[in-house]
Structure 1
Amino acid sequence: MDASPVDVDLALVGGGGAASLVLAALDRHDLTGLRVAVVDPVHKRGQDRTWAFWGAPGTDLDPLLSAAWSRVDVVTPAGRRDLSLAPLRYAMLRSAPVYDRAAAAERRLGAVRIAAPAGELRDDGHRVTVHDFDGRPVARAGWVLDSRPRPPRRPGRTSWLQHFRGWWLAADRPTFDPDRAVLMDFRTPQPARGVSFGYLLPVSDRYALVEYTEFSPAVRTDAAYDAALRGYAGLLGLDLAALRVREVENGVIPMTDGPFVPRPSARVVRLGTAGGATRPSTGFTFSAMLRQAEQVARELAAGRPPVPAPAYPRRHLWMDAVALRALDRGHVAGVEFFDRLFERNPAERVLRFLDGVTSPAEELAVMRSSPLLPMTGAVLGDAVDRLRTRLRRDPAVTPVVEAGSRTAGQTGS
């Protein structure tokens, strides 16, 4: 590596999914005159993760998809619900084609690849100097897009995790129905504090992803995930002795109402989970990352700063905080909560709500479908927690408010 730092217009710190989507978007907007650097010790290639998301067909991602489904099942112990997603579809995207497209975009953009782990970012208000872990400057950029994982600015009032393990199962004879996916199957044993579900995503009649997922405060052991997967495979009627586990996928995603800082300084913008792209109530991230990438490229193409809009409206973050609190404190059971969402709303509305793109009228309809009294208690409890947080930060607030918050807390918690 040269001793002098590379001088560029835009530096991407971290080269994973968020940066790959940005590179493809820059290429799509024909920003070949932009000087770009990617700072990451690892050049991502191959299959290391799978993204599943919903959206309208006919996008530039369509050629990269492994599979897509217009109908899905949501299953509870009480029965199976067959859902039409029209005009949306549920889609599976594996990482290899995303990384391949990003690599091709890198070449067309003439981007510089800096194979060093990024350390401190020093922003003087005009340019940002990217340092490696040893403190050496490796790049100077007009703007930095930082997608490295990091915790929220302060701990959330509720902090859970979406954690999962999936098996890619191969069969020698037709075993799966590639036209039908199981989006959520709540017949799995439920944790004492949280909610679990399985899902089945078949890409052909002989190859499918079977996954066990939990929303809960803590991860499980490898043995526990494997036992849960064996149990779920049994619920699906799969004979594991006749199947081969070709790949294993694991993941842990934060679900928290703790605030992330999408713009820590004048010319540093965070993307991905660090930039607020993870939906607190579900852990879903991909659709928001895709929106961020498109907005960054669009702003640069228009000669504006590459600052995307907030990933989710403030009212959605408030609803997420309330939902997390309700689930964590046991005000509502997780299976009941999600089952009522799909029972009392069109599937399209639920999926758009989970993506953070619904209107206030649609959100009111979603809220009306949740258990009213338990959720009211969660709303009051969340309000009390917010007041207490404010009191700790601002001691000038009068003690009368503190006394009132204690009373409300006894009622709402």
Structure 2
Amino acid sequence: MHATSAVDVDLALVGGGGAASLVLAALDRHGVSGLRVAVVDPVHKRGQDRTWAFWGLPGDDLDPLLSASWSQVDVVTPAGRRVLTLNPLRYAMLRSAPVYDRAADAERRLDAVRISAPAGELHDDGQRVTVRDPDGRDLVRAGWVLDSRPRRPKRPGRTSWLQHFRGWWLAADRPTFDPQRAVLMDFRTPQPQRGVSFGYVLPVDDRFALVEYTEFGPELLDDAGYDAALRGYADLLGLDLSVLRVREVEDGVIPMTDGPFESRPSPRVVRLGTAGGATRPSTGFTFSAMLRQADQVAGALAAGRPPVPAPAYPGRHLWMDAVALRALDRGHVGGVEFFERLFDRNPPERVLRFLDGVTSPVEDLAVMRSSPLLPMTGAVLGDATGRLRARLRR
């Protein structure tokens, strides 16, 4: 449905990408009824435009949508290959098309209003929020707004990196990939001067897989740089690109920063996704936190509470991430060494749960002990000094 004038609703979703799609599906799953909902986005997301990889317990609501999942993954360094058994967790791959399809079904069942226009300013008077277009015309008046549009941090971070990547969906005419195991991180790629790089492989079956090159660092590559890195990684894997077909290409840039994101800029506006702090600063991982946010929002609305999710990550994790980013950025510790020790000195389940932000303080202490202590201590002191200077300036 398209709105031609301002409409009154209980809940407006501004932005219709992954975060909003998960919210719509969660509202439907929680049986929320009688709620007037609007989705404001000039583009109605459909088809395959991104891939999410995440870990969790099998048997959840996403299982029917998965392209593949694995109970074992490889972490590869120049020193060798480590096979991680993830039980009871599994590593899973979810493509966007089934997520968007499920959200569209939920949108119809919720009888949501779809407003195919870009959103501009949000005016919150404490009772209602008016969503305006970029020219100042009123689009929606809502009791609550969930805004998932990309935003910069509230203030610049002391360390600001990017997770940036390019992946090729490669198809073969004969068995080429091992569908039983994914490659989580392969650090045999040439390492950048600042930052860390790795490749990974997510096989759907023995003839079709996503092969991706990723960097964590302050600078992007150009197109030729990503393609050259992917060709080099394919050579490391022993893949003959002359007999493989590139069916699709995926690119992405995700912020990795200790700059704070303002998750609730006004009383009745809540930000979700990266804008709401769902991106883990030390890795750029986002999907699991977005999923938690959607479930918490829907659960709150089903219980008649405000749709305000909990912080995506505990404060202690954000502090640890700030320290790790500073240590990596200043060269106090090498990226390959950091991740190698993390996986070498902790059970796989602990590492993955830590990266998801759901470990206990006792587990966090064990993770800290597994890191290079002396360089990290220097980073801690530098981080504390930076925080004090920033506070004094403010």
* TM-score for the superposition, normalised by structure 2: 0.99
SS at match of 1:119: coil
Matched, 1:245 2:246: yes
In structure 2, how many angstroms separate the alpha carbons of the residues matched to 1:359 and 1:106? 37
In structure 1, how many angstroms separate the alpha carbons of the residues matched to 2:77 and 2:122? 48
Letter in structure 2 aligned against 1:226: D
The corresponding residue for 2:386 is 385
Whether contact under 8 Å (2:3, 2:115) holds in the other structure is no
CA deviation profile, 1:281-307 (whole Å, cap 9, x unmatched): 000000000000000000000100000
In structure 2, how many angstroms separate the alpha carbons of the residues matched to 1:321 and 1:368? 16
1:88-107 equivalences under 5 Å are: 88-107=89-108
In structure 2, how many angstroms separate the alpha carbons of the residues matched to 1:85 and 1:363? 19
CA deviation profile, 1:322-379 (whole Å, cap 9, x unmatched): 0000000000000000000000000000000000000000000000000010000000
Letter in structure 1 aligned against 2:263: P
Identical-pair percentage: 85
CA deviation profile, 1:301-324 (whole Å, cap 9, x unmatched): 010000000000000000000000
The corresponding residue for 2:166 is 165
- Tell me by how many angstroms 1:31 deviates: 1.2
The corresponding residue for 1:54 is 55
The corresponding residue for 1:137 is 138
In structure 2, how many angstroms separate the alpha carbons of the residues matched to 1:85 and 1:197? 20
In structure 1, how many angstroms separate the alpha carbons of the residues matched to 2:149 and 2:180? 36
The corresponding residue for 1:348 is 349
- Tell me by how many angstroms 1:32 deviates: 2.6
- Tell me by how many angstroms 1:4 deviates: 3.5
In structure 2, how many angstroms separate the alpha carbons of the residues matched to 1:81 and 1:147? 37
Letter in structure 2 aligned against 1:248: V
- Tell me by how many angstroms 1:134 deviates: 1.2
Q: How many residues align?
A: 393
Q: Which protein shows a greater Rg?
A: 1
In structure 2, how many angstroms separate the alpha carbons of the residues matched to 1:174 and 1:317? 43
In structure 1, how many angstroms separate the alpha carbons of the residues matched to 2:351 and 2:59? 21
In structure 2, how many angstroms separate the alpha carbons of the residues matched to 1:317 and 1:245? 38
In structure 2, how many angstroms separate the alpha carbons of the residues matched to 1:285 and 1:144? 21
Letter in structure 1 aligned against 2:63: D
In structure 1, how many angstroms separate the alpha carbons of the residues matched to 2:323 and 2:367? 13
Letter in structure 2 aligned against 1:219: L
- Tell me by how many angstroms 1:218 deviates: 1.2
The corresponding residue for 1:156 is 157
* TM-score for the superposition, normalised by structure 1: 0.95
* Between 150-159 and 27-36, the greater mean CA deviation after superposition: 27-36
Letter in structure 2 aligned against 1:378: A
1:186-335 equivalences under 5 Å are: 186-335=187-336
CA deviation profile, 1:73-113 (whole Å, cap 9, x unmatched): 00000000010011101000000000000000000000000
- Tell me by how many angstroms 1:30 deviates: 1.2
In structure 2, how many angstroms separate the alpha carbons of the residues matched to 1:351 and 1:33? 38
Gaps of at least 5 residues in structure 2 are none
In structure 1, how many angstroms separate the alpha carbons of the residues matched to 2:33 and 2:50? 29
- Tell me by how many angstroms 1:3 deviates: 5.4
**Aligned residues: CA RMSD:** 0.6
Superposition misfits of 4+ residues, deviation over 6 angstroms: none
In structure 1, how many angstroms separate the alpha carbons of the residues matched to 2:99 and 2:33? 19
Gaps of at least 5 residues in structure 1 are 394-413
